[in-house]
Structure 1
């Protein structure tokens, strides 16, 4: 004995039949136009390579009659230059001393040590004795005590005045100098400081010593000459 159909199934079948009839009418109205085929599938092994190649492919306009064009090429790209017409000129001088490379410092020997010399006494404008040692200030040219200078046709004992100025500035205070271990055996040229003041810089900038040709006080001597200080000025 056959089972009876559910009451809702005839209605569903009639609805599906109506939809099929409507789809057929749409295809007839479109003139039998065929639907585009499905895109080809990519094999799993080739999918990554295909996507990588597509990401690196150059972008272009697929519309017919369209091509890439340069935007403001004359403004963005530099103009063409003829290398034969380029001439190298001399560099301009620096705007100030900050633009100059610092003078390299002369490394001190490893066995030299910072030594305090108490109660120094100047024997000339840039040489002193202390604790049995004789030290000349490095980077300077000493003014002999017997030297005389001329200013406006007037001679004066500038050497003795320079030694007196050095002694007055020292006032028996301790100098800190870099000396070798056996400096007490001979006179030696060494850099010295009085507190935080460079002794050579003070002597040359005040005109009581001259700068050595290979020293670091050339500008200080020029300033002292221009200002007529020390031995470059009037009798004192």
Structure 2
């Protein structure tokens, strides 16, 4: 009869080597957490092994203790706050994420409003129904202004205001005003019947044309004809 052969030595050595490898990879249980064994470093001068100590934790918040979180696993980076520089935020890449600017009422959105019994406060500004309106496109002549013609001074500002009041005669002006014009003074185009108020004032020399207005040629005519403030005392 044949007998079973006992296991050979190579097989036993292989099994023992595997157990040793498994034991070397075992984890250490500490406080309910599975941690790898600490690394071993030789002690200088003695040759004896010594467990390596974790790197010191840098306190990035002066005046407050550092909070240690898994220092055996995670080593926080060293942070030098003296090298940190605050810079301005970059400009937006586009206008898509920006809030839209408020819509400015345009003249075509304004409505024509009748203002009854206007009273001129100067040569191109009047008050009516609780509103203060400056004629747009015309430069006002201050009531205290004095003009000189042939070395003769005369109160042209008061005369210009009086001429504007005389022309109005308490009639209604139709002005193009925004919906919220009751709260503040505003420059607006106005008309008396079919007559443009600004054109009448500038053409007769009782106001000057604004540099970006439409009454530039009317002022040239008034100057050439010596009308209003460009002429002799009236």
TM range (shorter): 0.5 to 0.7
Q: CA deviation at 1:112?
A: 1.0
TM-score by length of 2: 0.55
| Separation (CA, whole Å) in 2 of partners of 1:125 and 1:156 | 15
Q: What is the aligned partner in structure 1 of residue 140 from structure 2?
A: 142
Q: Deviations over 1:52-78 (max 9, x none)?
A: xxxxxxxxxxxxxxxxxxxxxxxxxxx
Q: Work out the CA distance in 2 between the residues paired with 1:116 and 1:171.
A: 15
Question: Which residue matches 2:181?
Answer: 183
2:109 is aligned with 1:111: yes
Q: Give the alignment of 1:7-18 within 5 angstroms.
A: none
Inter-partner Cα distance in structure 1 for 2:191 and 2:108: 19
Partner of residue 209 from structure 2, selected from 186, 208, 211: 211
User: Do the aligned partners of 1:111 and 1:181 also contact (CA within 8 Å) in 2?
Assistant: no
Secondary structure of the residue aligned to 1:181 is coil
Which of 129, 132, 153 in structure 2 is aligned with 1:131?
A: 129
Structure 1: tracts of 5 or more residues without a match:
1-106
Contact kept? 2:107, 2:176, Cα under 8 Å? no
Equivalence for 1:27? none
Matches within 5 A, 1:152-171: 152-171=150-169
Are 2:120 and 1:122 equivalent residues in the alignment? yes
1:110 Cα shift? 4.5
- The aligned runs of 1:1-12 (5 Å cut-off) are none
Count of aligned pairs between the two proteins: 130
> Any idea what the Cα deviations from partners look like across 1:27-49, whole Å, max 9, x if unmatched?
xxxxxxxxxxxxxxxxxxxxxxx
Shift of the alpha carbon at 1:167?
0.1
Deviations 1:162-189 (Å, cap 9, x if unpaired)?
A: 0000000000000000001111111100
After superposing on structure 2, the runs of 4+ consecutive aligned residues of structure 1 that deviate more than 4 Å are: none
RMSD over equivalenced CA pairs, Å: 1.2
Give TM-score scaled by structure 1 length. Answer: 0.54
Displacement of 1:111 in angstroms is 3.5
* More helix per residue: 1
Shift of 1:109: 3.4
What's the counterpart of residue 174 of structure 1?
172
